[in-house]
Amino acid sequence: MFLINGLFDVVYSVVQILTLLIALYQFAISIFGIRHRKEPITRKPEKRFAVVIPAHNEERVVGPLIDSLKSLHYPDTLFDIHLIADNCTDHTADVGRRHGAIVHERTDHKNVGKGYAIKWMIEKLKEYGSSYDALVMFDADNLVHPDFLSIMNEKLCSGHKVIQGYLGVKNPFDTWVSVSLAISYWYDNRMWQHARSRLGLPCALGGTGLCIDYPLLQEMGWTATGLTEDLEFGVRCVEHDIIPVWAHDAKVYDEKPVTFMASFHQRLRWQQGHFNCAKRYLVSLVRDSIKERRFIKFDLAVYLFQPMRALTIFAMSIMLFIFNLPFFDAMVSLHVHQIIPASVWMWISAILFLEMPLALLLERTNWRAYVGLILVPIFLWTWGPVTLQAYFTQGNRKWHHTIHKRAIRLDQIQDR
């Protein structure tokens, strides 16, 4: 028992230190997210875009997306809308044609998933005959702000090659699950993505609202076919010294799950993909960051480490709960060394949580978002079980489709 107690004490002490350092790191970066000044659009439309929409059975929502793209404040002669009807068994292709998209029907029941569909489409574009300066990706359930391509044109003309747009939510107040996810996104957009962009650090790619320089894409190729194709491509960009940048005013609105189980399965896929990326790239990023003295690679390694940190904290919290039960304490004497005083954890937790209402204030969200803060701690805790299952099922590469139903339009979001 003495050996078990000593081992547990060492592990718990390491976890305390790592958790404190990462919390302080996150807080230090988030300070730079407080200030935001809208960047003016000064460049005339110049870049030609291939807008790519991977879609699997999305007949309910793809029409409003295409309509919002048709309403962009950008010459329609400078972008084409390519809809991938990927293994569809509904009328997605018909809806796409009716709304004016160029539809490409794909049937491949072996290579299933968004990453494979994008790879297939990129090969098709080589045969299409049009020359493009950049490729932009959207999910079929999205809606797009009218200035999106104008902002991407501005960024590309300024020399940036990989740009991530702002990830908004089009159904934030449907349920406690959707509002919890929306709050998480508002926080991440402002206090993590925007903050890191101001420091010259790479932003995390979100898989939608993503703009990639077309010659760069041809040079690098698209090998990201895992469960988190966006994260894989972002890591490869940093390895090639390409810094993905954040465009805070180029907004995309995404539909979030409204039930806990739908959210659980979606987050499970994210974490499974995150674990796979960490396994492939984490050690090499840390090694290269030291060898090359490149802080951006260390920063990305910290991001890849997040699921392991969440898993460790969750496991240790469960163990401590069990070990502190009266019946367990009566049978086994277990003592752990609290390196960081409880008061320090209380202040750190309070400060990090208070950054959420600050982000809501800075983003000028609806008052209902503040009510949703009440349930956010419960939702955040559920990342523990999600991450735990992801760890034991990280070898599962099966793509689970998230069903989308909210066929609302952009003007309805702006009124919410």
pLDDT of 416 reads: 45
Could you list the residue range(s) of the whole structural domain that residue 410 is in?
Answer: 1-416
Q: How many CB atoms lie within 10 A of CB 382?
A: 16
Q: What is the DSSP letter of 375?
A: T
> Does residue 71 have a pLDDT over 50?
yes
User: Beta 102-106 vs 143-144: how paired, if at all?
Assistant: unpaired
Phi and psi at 148, nearest 5°, equal: -55, -55
DSSP state of 77: G
Q: Please state, for a pLDDT cut of 70, what percent of the chain lies above it.
A: 85
Integer Cα distance of 133 and 138 in angstroms: 17
Most confident of 7-11, 50-54, 307-311: 50-54
d(CA 237, CA 219): 11
- pLDDT for res 331: 47
- Please state which of the ranges 14-18, 235-239, 298-302 shows the lowest mean pLDDT: 14-18
Q: What's the number of domains the chain is made of?
A: 1
Q: Which residues contact 243 (CB under 8 A, 6 or more apart)?
A: 162, 200, 201, 202, 237, 296
Q: Give the pLDDT score at 326.
A: 63
> Domain of 11: which CATH number?
3.90.550.10
> What would the pLDDT profile of 139-165 be if each residue is shown by its tens digit?
999 999 999 999 999 999 999 999 999
Identify the band that residue 245 occupies on the pLDDT scale cut at 50, 70 and 90.
very high
Q: What is the Cα Rg of the chain in Å?
A: 22
